[in-house]
């Protein structure tokens, strides 16, 4: 099986009109040099890399040197089992034991096992992300893949978190199996198990509605009490002027503009604003500028 990231990327021709590097060769710049990183449109053709922000060109491809087409290396079709079972185990605190989950998962005949100690309040779970990436990669190679967890709450506690994982599995045609609990058994998102994924979606919609209603109720209560709604404003006139110059004259992206700005007041003093904050600041300015001017006589 191809394991080098750059070979996975280079197994596809680059779809970028300004590059169009053939399979087997690195991406190239408009000036005819080997690009320092692969174009996003190319590495996102690899299922396991779709969530990455960038993939660097390895030293073996001599990034920055003059680009030349390389011969396509014929790779033998990877040998993968007809069915790959990938397991995921998780506990929230160090005082909880994880071995019973591991033992049960190994006894069920899994091929690979990912485990971590991390709270469900943490949005990014590295081992969960790695398990899903491995599952997508095996699926892209033609294997039937099943993600196995001990029980539903190990996959996620909240409905929104469960739906996010379920949507990834459904989109990649990966089956889900619970060893215990009321939903014990294997669920195929494209077959009889589709009802479970629809259930997750309904739960998530219900939770979103509940959160929205409680938020609106809290805001209304705060207004009646005379409290301000929303976070502390981090932008000022100088920051806006700099952002406008970087956008209109230097044509930088929101992320690049945010990296050039510094918050001057409040708890976030000295930090960079988020790209979302920059977008909101510029949008508000543009909306005000678009209003018809009025004059008094």
pLDDT digits (tens, 9 = 90+) for 172-222: 888 889 898 877 888 876 666 566 666 665 655 665 666 677 777 777 777
pLDDT tens profile 150-176: 988 787 766 667 777 777 888 888 888
Is 289 an annotated catalytic residue? Answer: no
Which of these is catalytic: 17, 25, 92, 235? 92
Segment among 42-46, 139-143, 244-248 with least mean pLDDT: 139-143
**Secondary structure of 62-93 in HEC code, one letter for each residue:** CCCCECCCCCCCCCCCCCCCCEEEEEEEEECC
The domains located in the chain, with CATH, are 5-61 (no CATH), 83-205 (3.40.50.1390), 237-288 (no CATH)
Say which residues have a Cβ less than 8 Å from residue 104's Cβ, sequence separation at least 6. 150, 179, 180
State the pLDDT at residue 73: 67
For residue 198, the 8-state DSSP code is: H
pLDDT at position 165 is: 76
Whole-number pLDDT of residue 170: 80
Q: How many Å is the maximal CA-CA distance in the chain?
A: 86
pLDDT higher for 230 or 116? 116
């Amino acid at each position: 099986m191809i394991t080098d990231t750059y070979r996975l990327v280079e197994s596809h021709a680059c779809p970028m009109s300004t590059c169009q590097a053939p399979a087997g060769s690195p991406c190239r710049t408009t000036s005819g040099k080997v690009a320092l990183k692969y174009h996003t449109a190319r590495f996102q053709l690899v299922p396991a890399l779709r969530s990455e922000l960038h993939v660097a060109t390895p030293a073996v491809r001599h990034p920055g040197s003059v680009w030349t087409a390389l011969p396509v290396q014929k790779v033998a079709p990877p040998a993968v089992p007809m069915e790959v079972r990938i397991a995921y185990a998780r506990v929230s605190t160090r005082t909880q034991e994880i071995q019973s989950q591991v033992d049960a998962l190994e006894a069920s005949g899994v091929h690979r096992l990912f485990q971590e100690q991390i709270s469900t309040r943490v949005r990014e779970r590295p081992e969960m992300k790695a398990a899903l990436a491995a599952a997508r990669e095996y699926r892209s190679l033609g294997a039937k893949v099943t993600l196995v967890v001990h029980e539903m709450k190990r996959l996620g506690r909240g409905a929104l978190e469960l739906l996010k994982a379920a949507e990834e599995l459904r989109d990649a045609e990966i089956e889900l199996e619970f060893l215990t609990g009321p939903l014990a058994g294997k669920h195929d998102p494209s077959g009889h198990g589709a009802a479970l994924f629809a259930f997750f979606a309904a739960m998530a919609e219900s939770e979103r509605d509940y959160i929205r209603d409680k938020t609106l109720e809290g805001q209304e209560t705060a207004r009646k009490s005379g409290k301000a709604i929303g976070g502390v404003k981090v932008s000022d006139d100088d920051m806006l002027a700099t952002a406008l110059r970087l956008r209109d004259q230097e044509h930088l992206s929101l992320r690049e503009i945010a990296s050039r700005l510094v918050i001057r007041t409040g708890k976030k003093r000295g930090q960079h604003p988020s790209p979302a904050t920059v977008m909101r600041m510029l949008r508000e300015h543009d909306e005000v500028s678009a209003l018809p001017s009025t004059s008094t006589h």
